[in-house]
Amino acid sequence: MKKNYLQLDYGQYLNDVINHLVSNRIYFKILPGIGATTLEIQTKRWSIIIEPNVPVIKGKSKHNRKILGVYEDIDVGAIMMYLTNKTIEHKKILVTPESFYKVKRACEALAINIYEAFFLLFDECDRTMKDVNFRDGILDPMEDFFRFRQKSFISATAVIPTDPRFEEQDFELVYVKPSFKYQRDIEVTLTNNVSLALKSVIEEYNGKTICIFLNHIRAIEAVITDLDIMGISKVFCSAEKAQHLRGKGYDAYEHVEDDNYGEINFFTSRFNSAVDMNMKERPIVILVTNLFYADHTMIDPRSEAVQIVGRFRNGVSKLYAISNYMLFPTLIHQCQLKLIRRH
């Protein structure tokens, strides 16, 4: 596929460089939070934006009544009402992959040719690869994707797809290259006791806002119990898990608000990408892998780590990665030598 490049200077957003996203492109944003989704929302055309998780949809639609967020609780009738609302000229629908079929049904009921009427943007497109093993419906929109006259892929951590239809439809790769240094230092800890490693960081920054990304509810519960920090902790996870945790006395939420963060905040992977977190101060961010609970707690340094740091629109003050190991003893020493710090 042909490659193109866009230069992004410090302080610029994507709408400072281009005035709209072009069809049949795969955009490699490189940096999260440069306003790509916002650019499509502002573009004067009908748009469907497929987002990986519900929190990002709620976050982007709650302050804009011209946007319709579509997920599990939104039915076809609500979509039809939105599409027939004459006060909204440029329809903007944000939808999860699993609920995309409802948008199709609404358009069919209203005799709207969805493939001609809308620009389709698949946001954070790399999630299709990462989540497909436990989200059967995440690939459902892909067959429809290639039927749209206007469509594009976009992500800060996109990968070049192997589907031959991208080549057949003359897709091009667009790299948004920052002209400034954007790398962040990270302190890495290899440990056989995740709670103890977390305790040392939490005590070092006592009273500061701390955000911990750990993709396992029981592992989060274990940390909170081990460190006796329930009174100052909040957990952000799925609605089902949040209800379960609240029943056990935890302060748990299924979505983020600008004013509902605690001193210590735990996030599952549904908050790893796309969600905007507008904190008043720059938090301490800790990426945690606990293989004693599950392999899916592993955080990919090339994608998930980049996305997580990009959630914080005002930046982060310090970045840590803590991981335990399940390796053969002869390999442990080799791994330790490569790390900045170990316990």
The pLDDT of residue 71: 93
- Domains contained in the chain, CATH given: 3-178 (3.40.50.300), 187-342 (3.40.50)
Contact 125, 158 (CB under 8 A): yes
The pLDDT of residue 213: 96
Helix H or strand E encompassing 304:
helix 304-310
> Cα–Cα–Cα angle for 291, 293, 298, nearest 5°?
40
The pLDDT of residue 106: 98
> Can you read off the two tokens belonging to residue 91?
């329809």
The pLDDT of residue 265: 96
The pLDDT of residue 52: 84
One pLDDT digit (tens) per residue for the chain, 343 residues: 899 999 999 999 999 999 999 999 999 998 888 989 999 999 999 999 999 888 889 888 887 889 999 998 899 999 999 999 999 999 999 999 999 999 999 999 999 999 999 999 998 766 666 555 555 666 778 889 999 999 999 988 777 888 899 999 999 999 999 999 888 899 999 999 999 999 999 999 999 999 999 999 999 999 999 999 999 999 999 989 999 999 999 999 988 887 789 999 999 988 887 688 888 889 999 999 999 888 888 888 888 888 899 889 888 999 999 999 865 443 334 444 334 333 3
pTM over 0.85: no
Give the integer Cα–Cα distance in Å for 135 and 52.
10
Residue 49: helix, strand or coil by DSSP?
strand
The pLDDT of residue 127: 64
The pLDDT of residue 159: 78
Give the integer Cα–Cα distance in Å for 185 and 320.
9
Q: List CB contacts of 194: < 8 A, sequence separation 6 or more.
A: 219, 223, 288, 290, 292, 322, 323, 324
The pLDDT of residue 124: 76
